[in-house]
Amino acid sequence: MKLTLEPILSAKKVNAYFGAFQAIKDVSLDVAPHSVTALIGPSGCGKSTFLRTLNRLHEEIPGARFEGEVLLEGEDIYARGMDPVQVRRKIGMVFQKPNPFPSLSIFENVVVGLTLAGVRNRHLLEETAESALKNAALWDEVKDKLKAPGTSLSGGQQQRLCIARALAVKPPVILMDEPTSALDPISTARIEELLGEMKKEVTVIIVTHNMQQAARCSDHTAFFLLGELVEHARSPTLFSNPQDRRTEQYITGRFG
């Protein structure tokens, strides 16, 4: 598939292993800036593993190994001398289960990425917190209780707090690993709505096992099976006119 714009993120021949087990096989994927790319596929096909190679979180697992290249704005994040800590500041992540820090307040949770980066200017922190919370559609609900613990919010609010926390450091790319799978339908709908807004600011790669969700809110969809990338296309195309038989079988619900 040709992208009209230069890709902001580009995975080239990515292989990922857990010990001797190869979870990702030769996956190459280009991601256009300011787009939402959905990764779909049956459980265990390697969506999370692939996502976690994109911000070098994969290597934190004991025994995990990586081969290949991942270019962020043309620069290989796995290049020698690249600091994974710096990489992760540019590629944010939202996880399956909301995971705000219980010891931090709502406000502290939102700006924790900045404080980690050494920002101490109170005014700047407050400004950033407000805009990140607004972008995560949470501001109105929490503006009067910013000092309350992050974990005092509902599950859906906690997940939007985690999105705000990721947005606050203004990374060019945000990875989301099934961010709505632990949430109720209303919270899910709010976050799906949010994706459309978010892509004005960032590029989103989202794992979902919900095909309707992929069809509703992504520009591109990549279908994974047994660690391989089977098909990658514009979402309307992939869902209406899949090129690969395995994709067709999956989206028509014949397996997975």
Ligand X SMILES: Nc1ncnc2c1ncn2[C@@H]1O[C@H](COP(=O)(O)OP(=O)(O)O)[C@@H](O)[C@H]1O
Query: What is the contact surface with another protein in residues (CB under 8 A)?
Result: 55, 57, 60, 62, 85-89, 92-93, 95, 97, 99-104, 112-113, 116-117, 162, 165-166, 169
Q: Give yes or no for residue 53 binding ligand X (CB under 6 A).
A: no
Select 99 or 237, whichever has its Cβ closest to another protein.
99
Stretch that binds ligand X, among 17-25, 110-118, 120-128, 179-187 (CB under 6 A): 17-25
Q: Do residues 242 and 252 touch, judged by C-beta distance below 8 A?
A: no
Task: Number of residues interacting with ligand X: please give it, by CB under 6 A.
Answer: 12
Amino acid in position 210:
N
Per-residue CA distances from 189 to 142, 192, 204 (Å): 19, 5, 17
C-alpha neighbours within 13 Å on the C-beta side of residue 28: 4
CB of 103 to ligand X, least distance (A): 26
Q: Give yes or no for residue 18 binding ligand X (CB under 6 A).
A: yes
Stretch that binds ligand X, among 38-46, 121-129, 138-146, 243-251 (CB under 6 A): 38-46
Taking CB under 6 A as the criterion, the residue among 35, 48, 159, 208 binding ligand X is 48
Copy the structure tokens of residue 41.
């596929």
Q: Which of 167, 203, 160, 199 is nearest to 183 (CA)?
A: 160
Per-residue CA distances from 106 to 115, 150, 207 (Å): 14, 4, 26
Select 176 or 214, whichever has its Cβ closest to another protein.
176
Select 59 or 126, whichever has its Cβ closest to ligand X.
59
Contact positions with Mg ion (CB under 5 A) in 41-60: 48
Distance CA 173, CA 176 (A): 10
Distance CA 97, CA 88 (A): 19
34 binds, among another protein, Mg ion, ligand X, none (CB under 5 to 8 A by kind): none
Q: Could you give the angle at the alpha carbon of 28 between the alpha carbons of 208 and 204, nearest 5°?
A: 40
Three-state DSSP state, 26 = strand
Select 177 or 192, whichever has its Cβ closest to Mg ion.
177
Q: Which residues bind ligand X (CB under 6 A)?
A: 18, 21, 23, 41, 43-49, 61
